[in-house]
Amino acid sequence: MPAPRRYPADHFLNRELSLLAFNRRVLAQAADATVPLLERLRFLCIVSSNLDEFFEIRVAGLKEQIKLGSHIADSDGLAPQELLRRVELQAHALIAEQYALLNGTILPALATEGIVFVRRSLWTEAQNAWIRAYFLREVMPVLTPIGLDPAHPFPRVLNKSLNFAVELEGTDAFGRSSGAAIVQAPRALPRVIQLPRELTGVEHGFVFLSSVLHQQVGELFAGMNVLGCYQFRVTRNSDLFVDDEEVKNLRTALQGELPQRHLGDAVRLEVADNCSELMTDFLLQQFELGREDLYRVPGIVNLVRLISVPDGVDRPDLKYPPLQPGLPRLLTKRHDIFASIRRQDILLHHPFQSFNPVIQFLQQAADDPQVVAIKMTVYRTGTDSVLMEHLLRAARAGKEVTVVVELMARFDEEANLNIAARLEEVGAHVVYGVFGYKTHAKMLMVLRREDGGYRRYAHLGTGNYHPRTTRSYTDFGLLTAREEISEDVNEVFKQITGLGRHKALNHLLQAPFTLHTSMLALIRAETATARAGGKARIIAKMNALLEPEIIEALYDASQAGVKIELLVRGVCALRPGVPGLSENIRVRSVIGRFLEHSRIFYFHAGGEQRIYLSSADWMERNFFRRIEVCFPLLDPRLKRRVIREGLRPYLADNSQAWDMDADGDYAIRPSRRARISAQELLLSELAPSL
């Protein structure tokens, strides 16, 4: 049970509002003229993707609470009804800023670089002819217009799909005159279509699918007059519900639940700003939404689909320089990864250093006849992961392969179900974790015959086994052959796959058993040292800080004189810099080219400098509802590296680090010092070939 709160509600900030503040910081990257132009467009799309999930999960959850009549406030004291009102106000303002930036700055800047989105009102006769031919050849055959009448009720509109509401007059071949129809755009159709250069005079000329359909929609309704055609998009509740008490087979239950995700309760309606009031009211009525749920936008209703433009346009001068990750010196000449790990612990800092050693580790394990068993956790790994191919090959070769697949990894459930099926087909042992707890720990263990016995090798990480995201997320990974660490890893695997009581571990801290109490103990030890007049310091880097008891312990530590520096990329419920409460706490958020994802926990510990790396944020779900591991760095050399690479540059950053005030507002503080960017510094030091 959570401990009772010792501090009043106004000492905590709200999670949802903090998440919107994070997206404002991401949007600032899109507004930053020093960021390459196509990357600015990419940041704009990332904000849209983030907001989609925000509505699908967070806003949907609030609406569900209100529907059930709940008035229970979170730690910040905001009741669901008041919180939803504030969320809606801020979300409307944020989305308005986003479209103003797109239409007023980014699209005109792209046009000056020869990347043009041709407006429908400006199409030439030749362009019109090409677009009509394209529509008749590629688009019209896959469209199914649905007239609305008693025989054709309003269709089931899928979550986040592109749709068009069409107002009509006249009668059709059967004498029907319903006046309205719905056209759904299949997801297979590209939302951005490139025109031939000879038609635009520029290298990259595009039109939107929505513009094409607007222009040609009359082809779908022969003999009738189109009065209006309006694009719209609905966002639905996408949280999966699996009843702990009723479910008997998680995989079967999940397979039955997934198809319903696209048809959950509507939570947001986006329409183009030219949509008539009559049609707007009609759509709101169909989706049982109010005016506060309506988002009128001056442009396409799905900015996420613009992400294809930076990827598809060959303009290196408008993108970040190509990433060429470095390698630790120990691995540049050695080809035997096991010999390298036996020699010393190896720390990898992604994306500045390559993820290939982890792939090589698993590849050699799959091919090495001395390797008898491989165990691995899978949370997110991608649909075409090379790691999975090595696991499949190892299983086919007769090795004991055990994979803990987390089926409830949000929005990756289907990919993980497919991975699990493929592994089972080749004889691997597939386990779906512990029901009621997500397996979020990142662990890989190899058992190898050596010197007449067995030796375990382990990899522990702060991020997912996802080769693609390791090039865009900052994370640490540890390769080790230390027996006391690998023994702990083996014990955690035994707990997940088998049955038995929790056993004390040598070094690893584990959720839901020891991680929370251990973090509290480490914070309180620094507090006691400060009260006794000693030097005390805490530095913590994470994605989110929400757990109330941890926040209260940090408040206590601040009041005792502990210097606390928190690097929290996303949501933070702690109020820093409040006199008498948290004046010794600083909170920073670094937003840059790479997504800050590593979790680092530093405690001065009387000069011992205890450093832990983890897959867990300081959130209730990570402490109490997930299986997580937090591992110490035992090698002094690696401790110094994490301080030098993972903490110090971020504390000194004066160009991409946002400082948070007591009200939850963020700003980049002006500095007279030379410009320091942590990510750029690490690129120059660890990937010097750039």
Do 288 and 381 sit in the same domain of this protein? no
Average pLDDT over residues 634-640: 97
- The pLDDT assigned to 187 comes to 86
The Cα–Cα gap between 665 and 427 comes to: 53
Q: Is 518 contained in some domain?
A: yes
- The pLDDT assigned to 630 comes to 98
Q: Which of 49-63, 147-161, 356-370 has the lowest mean pLDDT?
A: 147-161
Do 436 and 584 sit in the same domain of this protein? no
Strands ordered across the beta sheet of 204-208? 115-117, 204-208, 192-195
CATH number, domain at 661?
3.30.870.10
User: What global pTM score does this model have?
Assistant: 0.93
Chosen domain end from 299, 318, 337: 318
Whether residue 153 has a cis bond before it, omega within 30° of 0: no
Facing residues of 233 across strands?
Answer: 270
Helix/strand/coil (H/E/C) assignment for every residue in 390-417: HHHHHHHCCCEEEEEECCCCCCCHHHHH
> Of the ranges 72-81, 90-99, 215-224, which is most confident?
90-99
In the chain, how many domains are there? Answer: 3
CATH number, domain at 87?
3.30.1840.10
- The pLDDT assigned to 85 comes to 96
**pLDDT tens, 546-573?**
999 999 999 999 999 999 999 999 999 9
Residue 350 annotated to the active site? no
pLDDT above 50 (res 60): yes
**pLDDT tens, 268-307?**
999 999 999 999 999 999 999 999 999 999 999 989 989 9
Q: Is 2 contained in some domain?
A: no
Do 149 and 254 sit in the same domain of this protein? yes
Catalytic residue among 440, 459, 516, 597: 440
Do 311 and 407 sit in the same domain of this protein? no
Q: Is 323 contained in some domain?
A: no
The Cα–Cα gap between 72 and 65 comes to: 9
Do 62 and 193 sit in the same domain of this protein? yes
- The pLDDT assigned to 690 comes to 41
Average pLDDT over residues 468-473: 93
- The pLDDT assigned to 396 comes to 94
pLDDT above 70 (res 409): no
Q: Is 3 contained in some domain?
A: no
Compute the chain's Rg from CA coordinates: 27
What does DSSP assign to residue 105? I
The Cα–Cα gap between 94 and 59 comes to: 15
Chosen domain end from 448, 478, 501: 501
Helix/strand/coil (H/E/C) assignment for every residue in 558-574: HHHCCEEEEEECCCECE
Residue with tokens 């390559």: 354
First and final C-alpha spacing in the chain: 51
Banded model confidence at residue 242, pLDDT cuts 50, 70, 90:
very low
pLDDT above 90 (res 69): no
Do 27 and 168 sit in the same domain of this protein? yes
Q: Is 61 contained in some domain?
A: yes
Average pLDDT over residues 230-239: 92
Which residues 6+ apart lie within 8 Å of 629 measured at CB? Answer: 441, 442, 443, 460, 488, 489, 492, 508, 509, 510, 511, 614, 615, 616
- CA distances (Å), 31 to each of 97, 109, 111, 117, 254, in order? 10, 12, 16, 19, 41
Banded model confidence at residue 68, pLDDT cuts 50, 70, 90:
confident
Do 226 and 278 sit in the same domain of this protein? yes
Residue type, 252: T
Percent pLDDT > 90 in the chain is 77
Q: Is 387 contained in some domain?
A: yes
Kindly state the greatest CA–CA separation across the chain.
90
Do 543 and 652 sit in the same domain of this protein? yes
**Contact (Cβ atoms closer than 8 angstroms) between residue 571 and residue 544:** yes
Cβ burial, residue 173 (10 Å; 0-12/13-18/19+)? exposed
- The pLDDT assigned to 473 comes to 96
Do 381 and 256 sit in the same domain of this protein? no
Average pLDDT over residues 570-577: 98
Banded model confidence at residue 258, pLDDT cuts 50, 70, 90:
very low
- The pLDDT assigned to 246 comes to 41
Do 286 and 249 sit in the same domain of this protein? yes
Banded model confidence at residue 417, pLDDT cuts 50, 70, 90:
confident
Average pLDDT over residues 52-81: 90
- The pLDDT assigned to 408 comes to 61
pLDDT above 60 (res 350): yes
- The pLDDT assigned to 244 comes to 45
pLDDT above 90 (res 489): yes
Average pLDDT over residues 646-658: 97
- The pLDDT assigned to 256 comes to 47
Q: Is 324 contained in some domain?
A: no
pLDDT above 70 (res 152): no
**Contact (Cβ atoms closer than 8 angstroms) between residue 355 and residue 470:** yes
Do 473 and 599 sit in the same domain of this protein? no
Selected residue with higher pLDDT from 213 and 257: 213
The Cα–Cα gap between 300 and 211 comes to: 9
Cβ burial, residue 485 (10 Å; 0-12/13-18/19+)? buried
Crossing angle of helices 209-216 and 125-134, rounded to 10°? 90
Instruction: Please state, rounded to an integer, the average pLDDT across all residues of the chain.
Output: 91
Chosen domain end from 318, 346, 380: 318
Residue 350's closest CA among 652, 594, 29? Answer: 594
Q: Is 606 left (phi over 0), alpha (psi -120 to 50) or beta?
A: left
Q: Which of 285-294, 348-357, 401-410, 680-689 has the lowest mean pLDDT?
A: 401-410
Do 205 and 262 sit in the same domain of this protein? yes
**Contact (Cβ atoms closer than 8 angstroms) between residue 564 and residue 558:** yes
Domain that holds residue 444: 329-501
pLDDT above 70 (res 262): no
- The pLDDT assigned to 329 comes to 84
Q: Is 557 contained in some domain?
A: yes
**Contact (Cβ atoms closer than 8 angstroms) between residue 393 and residue 364:** no
- The pLDDT assigned to 571 comes to 97
Average pLDDT over residues 432-441: 86
